Structure 1
Amino acid sequence: MASITLQNLVKQYGDGFPAVNDVSIDIEDGEFIILVGPSGCGKSTLLRMIVGLEDITSGDLLIDGKRVNEKAPRDRNLAMVFQNYALYPHLTVFENIAFPLRLAKGKHTDDEIRKLVTDAAKTLELTDHLERKPGNLSGGQRQRVAMGRAIVRQADAFLFDEPLSNLDAKLRGQMRSEISQMQRRLGVTSVYVTHDQTEAMTLGDRVAVLKKGVLQQIASPRELYEQPVNLFVAGFIGSPSMNFLPATLEGNVLKTAVGDIQVTEDKARAAAGKKVVLVGLRPEFFEDASLVEEHKKDLGSTFMAELTHTEWLGNEQYGYINFDPDPEVRELLNSLAAEMDADELRPQIVVTLDAASRIRGGRSAELWLDTRKMHIFDPETGDNLTRDAEAGAALTQEANTARAEEISEAREREASTAGQPV
């Protein structure tokens, strides 16, 4: 296993466009890092630079502290799992998994190859399929074969390039779980590229959010969600997306298109001096006021709003509120949508309501908002004016500690199962 260090990496093409622009990340031994962002943000290019399929324009790439910029891909001892599996259709599952071992001619005996392949197949539940051809396997099984090929190489790190994008939703969920458990069990350093929100939030120890080749924030999924550094990260992470509501400050009250929101003094100070701010509100910050306990109501603010419609999902429901921003704010929302690879950011608020709520579309309703959790952004710079960096760092540290414990426990179980001393 190995640590991977990216020091001010730049990838510039002939036209001068920096696909990756001054990215620095320290990936610890055994860590699972996710690279996420909209199309064209540079995440796949960065992965290819790590494995050696793209030249590095400037900066340094270190594996276990050793500079590898000029090393060929085969000399970096990294295993890549591709989006299209890259399997050989004429070879059996056994031979597909064994292929990198046979490529290293003379390095492994036939008995060693058989043991490595059968062990990997057992780990990935492929034992019954070793004599089949890839064309006779399901998408999920083919993906496991590709992962098996990475495992037998005993590589220092696994690199995944959107490996689940060709699978249907149900199978993606199953494979997410399998990849996560495998990574913990093997404790192997992993870098995983995806555009999928759920994969990013559920798989990674830390998630690196990229925008136009520039690293915006790298942190645990929870820190990204609760303490985003700017508008882009706040809008990109989370589904449904964070709501952005233009507001002006009067005293300790934020005047918005859907009503007045009373805020705490620290949030009022953050917005002071700004002509207009954008209030960041996650859908779950809202609730039907009639269902909020009395002692909790004082911890937030209530307001009246008319919902255009609601969507009942069984365990919860979504409500939608339209508002009419001024042209300047509408332009800002459109610009942010373009950066996030979205068609548009509608002047609309999405609220999460309890499944028991009787609020319906077309009627005025009283809503409660937990103002303690709201964020305030500077629309000019995009900065989160209310970010608590210390609280965010604590969330990531908590995730790091949990990761170390999980890897240790997984290795203990593996050793115990194999009848080896821990």
Structure 2
Amino acid sequence: MASIEMKNIVKKYGDGYPAVNDVSMDIADGEFMILVGPSGCGKSTLLRMIVGLEDITSGDMVIGGTRVNEKAPRDRNLSMVFQNYALYPHLSVFENIAFPLRLAKTPEEEVQKKVNDAAAVLELNEHLQRKPANLSGGQRQRVAMGRAIVRDADAFLFDEPLSNLDAKLRGQMRTEIARLQRRLGITTVYVTHDQTEAMTLGDRVCVLRKGVIQQVASPRELYEQPVNLFVAGFIGSPPMNFLPATVSESALDTPFGKIELDADRAAKVAGKDLVLVGIRPEYFEDASLVDEAKKPLGSTFTARVDVTEWLGDSQFAYIPYEAPAEVEAKLKELSRELDSDQLRTQAIVSIDSTSRIREGREAEFWLDARKIHVFDPESGENLTRDPEAGAELTRIAAEDRAEQVANAREAAQA
């Protein structure tokens, strides 16, 4: 097992464009780190530099305390699982898993034990004599994972391993990967563009934008304390709503009415004129279903519902609103960058499935004003972020991870 340190890592191609730009990050021994971001953000390039498949233009890559910039991939003792499985079609499942052991000239008795142990963990015992062509997509991905497990590597590297699977199978494999990593307690770096995978798998998540780190934090900190518009818009499904607002003393005037601010938030936005208010869909409720004692903690407004989507356990209501041209342009630009078509001049509201709100009609909504974020529309900075609260969330996650790693290694030694 090993830690991974990246110090001012830069990757430039022939045209001089920095695919990865001055990335510095420490991944602790046994940590599950997620690299996430839209297409072209540099996450796969960074992973390939860790394993040695891409040269590093400048900076230091340190694995287990040793600088590895000039080391070949085979000398870094890392196991990588690729998006396309990379299995040998003419070999059986057993021989595909055993392949790295054969290359290392491992004694046959040890090969048999390691392959069978890995197959038991991944529930592949019944398929060891099959060829990859006779397996399902999920089984092929488990074979690729088995090949990584048997190597006794210092770290696992996953490059979008679930993107070729259907939605149901992705959910199952996501759970299997999480259980496997917790059981082995091995350092893991996992690349994905799917923020659901990022939020459910990682101890910490690194959000990248055009090769630059935006925020590295626990999934909960990213969700509750995003550092800027980009992170706030990328993390969450449906994404955070961004409403234009003007600052008026201790209140924000939005298309849905006035939102009162507490003294701390009012001080943070003082001096601003036009801002963007960030509101998660679940921060809204059908006003008719809100307890009377809770109502004074938020704001109530009336709006016309354009479309509703009933999902069984909840439902979404879409509420269009008017926005200044510069705000609309900003949201369109952010939407393109995030590969999303939902960041438009409409609010997505998540309400209880029992609500009788109907599309095409006006309805009364309640907004929890305690949870809103306020962003600078020019810089994208979250003006009301609480760094201390965010750091506490990540600290708790780190303690949980350290305890899980210690328990996994203790169990392995026993």
TM-score normalised according to structure 2 size: 0.98
Could you tell me which amino acid in structure 2 is paired with residue 121 of structure 1?
Answer: A
Q: C-alpha separation between the residues in 1 aligned to 2:269 and 2:305?
A: 27
Could you tell me which amino acid in structure 1 is paired with residue 175 of structure 2?
Answer: S
Which residue is equivalent to 1:169? 167
What SS does the aligned partner of 2:199 have? helix
Which residue is equivalent to 2:22? 22
Identical pairs, percent: 71
| Superposed displacement of residue 188, structure 1 | 0.5
Q: C-alpha separation between the residues in 1 aligned to 2:407 and 2:361?
A: 53
Could you tell me which amino acid in structure 2 is paired with residue 151 of structure 1?
Answer: I
Structure 1 residues 322-373: Cα deviation after superposition (integer angstroms, max 9, x where no partner): 0111111111111211221334621000011011111111221111111101
The runs of at least 4 aligned residues of structure 1 exceeding 6 Å deviation read none
| Superposed displacement of residue 412, structure 1 | 4.6
Superposed, 1:115-126 pairs within 5 Å as: 115-126=113-124
Q: C-alpha separation between the residues in 1 aligned to 2:121 and 2:307?
A: 48
Which residue is equivalent to 2:340? 342
Which blocks of at least 5 consecutive residues in structure 2 are unaligned? none
Which residue is equivalent to 1:73? 73
| Superposed displacement of residue 251, structure 1 | 2.2
Which residue is equivalent to 1:89? 89
What SS does the aligned partner of 1:391 have? helix
Which residue is equivalent to 1:332? 330
Q: C-alpha separation between the residues in 1 aligned to 2:313 and 2:211?
A: 39
Q: Does the 8 A contact of 2:204 with 2:218 survive in 1? A: yes
| Superposed displacement of residue 413, structure 1 | 4.8
Structure 1 residues 190-242: Cα deviation after superposition (integer angstroms, max 9, x where no partner): 00000011100000000000000000000000000000000000000000000
Question: How many residues are matched?
Answer: 414
Could you tell me which amino acid in structure 2 is paired with residue 47 of structure 1?
Answer: L
Q: C-alpha separation between the residues in 2 aligned to 1:216 and 1:49?
A: 19
Which residue is equivalent to 1:397? 395
Which residue is equivalent to 1:314? 312
Q: Does the 8 A contact of 1:333 with 1:344 survive in 2? A: no
Q: Does the 8 A contact of 2:185 with 2:404 survive in 1? A: no
Structure 1 residues 301-332: Cα deviation after superposition (integer angstroms, max 9, x where no partner): 11111111211111111111001111111111
Q: Does the 8 A contact of 1:205 with 1:221 survive in 2? A: yes
Which residue is equivalent to 1:275? 273
Which residue is equivalent to 2:366? 368
Question: Could you tell which deviates more after superposition, 331-340 or 345-354?
Answer: 331-340
Structure 1 residues 12-58: Cα deviation after superposition (integer angstroms, max 9, x where no partner): 01101000000011000000000000000000000000000000000
Which residue is equivalent to 1:57? 57
Which residue is equivalent to 1:243? 241
Structure 1 residues 396-421: Cα deviation after superposition (integer angstroms, max 9, x where no partner): 01111111222333445555xxxx3x
Q: Does the 8 A contact of 2:239 with 2:343 survive in 1? A: no
Which residue is equivalent to 1:234? 232
Which residue is equivalent to 2:204? 206
Question: Could you tell which deviates more after superposition, 334-343 or 81-90?
Answer: 334-343
Q: C-alpha separation between the residues in 2 aligned to 1:185 and 1:408?
A: 10
Q: Does the 8 A contact of 1:230 with 1:384 survive in 2? A: yes
Which residue is equivalent to 2:189? 191
Q: Does the 8 A contact of 1:303 with 1:368 survive in 2? A: yes
Which blocks of at least 5 consecutive residues in structure 1 are unaligned? none
What SS does the aligned partner of 1:171 have? helix
TM-score normalised according to structure 1 size: 0.96
| Superposed displacement of residue 263, structure 1 | 2.1
Which of 155, 158, 173 in structure 2 is aligned with 1:157? Answer: 155
